[in-house]
Chain A
């Protein structure tokens, strides 16, 4: 894992003390709320529906056991005993007191973490494939470039007041587990004909009110040129991104307006200018230095056979264990989606226990996935029965990764000041409706994603089945969208029609699933069937009960 150097440590410590002073000045009245709000947002502190909310950055989704224990400590000491893992691989605490936040940030700094740039119109925490460094299909671990981007973009003076927030994702695999095409900018590590690795750069993706799928702006950017290239694209955005309309301020709007050819042309003009100065060339020794922090553990020579462990274990392996690059090892997904639970929530006790489990089995890292689960990237296969057994004791062994009950849901109106409707209760209802594991396996891979407002934190546009909560005169309604995908075959879901009431939406989903089971060909996932037959058969059954209330 990356370790702070002297500069990082000093910078974060100074930032904590700076914020401590800002909080003191706010409480004394020296700063007004209008003056203080941008300062607290720069430190990840929001004011939500019930209380303040602190969003802590988990860089590229990677944490050590020590860092995970710190989240448990914060949850226990300053919050209400739990944390919420988000679709941007962060963790949020929903109940901190303003007066405690400087101490929380100091505690985070003690384990090399912070909440900087988890809000505001800046480059946000860089997200990564949660299987990075472990996936069997990976070309290279994408986290070193994520760390280089983190260092480049932290407090970058040119990009601290962008037209709007800016989200970057990275992946080193052809199979996209990081929703690259839905990010403002994304980097995929690719290999050229000469066998060299470089970066494919995408731009202009996004969800929210106006979803777009990103396009390629750089087919193969050399490693030493990547920061110059990213900065070139950022300059095009910073100069021309709209600042007059918040709904048109993201780079996706500019990228769509310019089109791929013009965006590439303008980016290349900036790139050549930056290259002339030579200041943004990444030296090989620096690349090597950062790479060294992300060296995988020394893998033992182990049997690649999956141990026996009974039917519950085998069901868990079927969905929650993925192929590792090293024989004898596996990637284990810890589902934070217990049947009827709150997606992404983990108690302090669970986080502590997982950290203990990491120590017990020599697992140095844990990952947060954008699908709101946790991942043990380098588990020995021989340890999996014991790991599963312990996770089961902790209520964390739900065997549903990638199945219909592995639902992404934003906090929604239960917590969020921006939300129009609740997300979590809808996820809970659907989860309970499809709790039967045989039924889940029969349905197969199915990604339901729920957002409580058009901002789309729950990624509903990219759901095989997406659900968007809307408000109609104070009453919650839910729109269904079908056919979205956040993977390498990215697509934006199509709206089915009028919304359903909160007591009708689970029934509508069930009817859609029923239609899929009737229509599917052998081996087809829901998404495959949808793409083959289109929306009409699903529309016909979704509304057949005539129970919905159109809005």
Chain B
């Protein structure tokens, strides 16, 4: 029986000094989900999570963790409602949170994703 394809993941954390939600990108952090890295397979996701610990010990972020996303032609979609709301802001106040600065997040509208290859090959999802 074929193995199920791994669910793509992203890495997130909160910035220590103000609590803002951040997403991992290329060894650092960005504020918008749409700009973050999507890991097609578990190994690079776990590697990023391990690398993120240096930002924890460096007092930049707290509580890094991986979460599931779907990626399609329209961009990135967090699988769980929690992460959809976290990426945008309260669903009851579109003037608050990241959606206040990015109208495309009202409601969360996916944008093209930057895909991190799982291996040294081209990966399309």
Query: Residues on A close to B: CB < 8 A?
Result: 26-29, 32-33, 47-52, 80, 95, 97-99, 342, 413-415, 419, 421-422, 424-425, 428, 471, 474-476
Contacts and interface: CB of A to CB of B under 8 A. Distances in A.
B115 interface: no
A492 to B, nearest CB: 28
Most buried by A among B17, B56, B90: B90
When A and B form their complex, which 10 residue pairs have the shortest distance between CB atoms, in order from nearest? A474-B80, A97-B18, A51-B19, A414-B90, A52-B19, A29-B59, A424-B92, A33-B62, A49-B86, A99-B17
A51 B17 contact: no
B96 interface: yes
Given A97-B18, A98-B17, A428 B59 contact: no
A51 B21 CA distance: 7
A26 B62 CA distance: 11
Which of A29, A48, A50, A475 is the most central at the interface, judged by chain B CB atoms within 10 Å of its CB? A50
B20 interface: yes
20 contacts: A26-B16, A27-B17, A28-B59, A33-B63, A48-B19, A51-B14, A97-B19, A98-B16, A98-B18, A98-B19, A342-B93, A414-B85, A421-B81, A422-B85, A422-B91, A422-B92, A424-B90, A474-B79, A474-B81, A476-B81
A414 B92 contact: yes
Given A27-B59, A414-B90, A474-B81, A50 B21 contact: yes
B86 A29 contact: no
A415 B81 CA distance: 12
Contact of A26 (B57, B58, B59, B89): B59
Nearest to B80: A474
B61 to A, nearest CB: 9
B122 to A, nearest CB: 30
Contacts of A29: 57-59
Nearest to A502: B81
Interface in B54-101: 56-59, 62-63, 79-82, 85-86, 89-93, 96-97
Given A26-B59, A33-B56, A80-B96, A49 B91 contact: no
